[in-house]
Amino acid sequence: MTRKERPEFDDEFNEAEFFGFAKSYLSEAFPNPQRVGCPPDCDLQRMAEHPVEARDAAVSQHLTCCSPCFNRYIEILANLKRRSASSAGS
């Protein structure tokens, strides 16, 4: 295949690659050891179950720059997913 025939991928969005990278990046890139500005666990729990923009916008924004909260939120979502899978199965 010559260069001319090679497909241009730059305009495409590869979902799997994006999420694969985003998860590993966000889980480590923002350590925040002092836990500055972290919301309480109940806020994360509430946003996972019923996200409401007016109430949860700041929490959602915080997750983009705090790896501990991001990891905790992912954990909450995983539990939620497990719970809904088991309730659907029973």
Nearer to other proteins, 39 or 63 (CB): 63
- Cα–Cα distance, 63 to 26 (Å, whole number): 9
Residue 50 beta carbon to other proteins: minimum distance, rounded to whole angstroms = 8
Distance (Å, whole) CA 3 – CA 20: 28
With 0-12 CB in 10 A as exposed, 13-18 as middle and 19+ as buried, what is 63? Answer: buried
Cβ proximity to other proteins: between 22 and 37 the closer is 22
Residue numbers of the site for other proteins (CB under 8 A)? 1-3, 6-7, 9-26, 29, 47, 51, 53, 56-57, 60-61, 63-64, 73-74, 77-78, 81, 84
- Measured in whole angstroms, the distance separating CA 7 from the mean position of its chain's CA atoms is 31
* Shortest Å, Cβ 73 to other proteins: 6
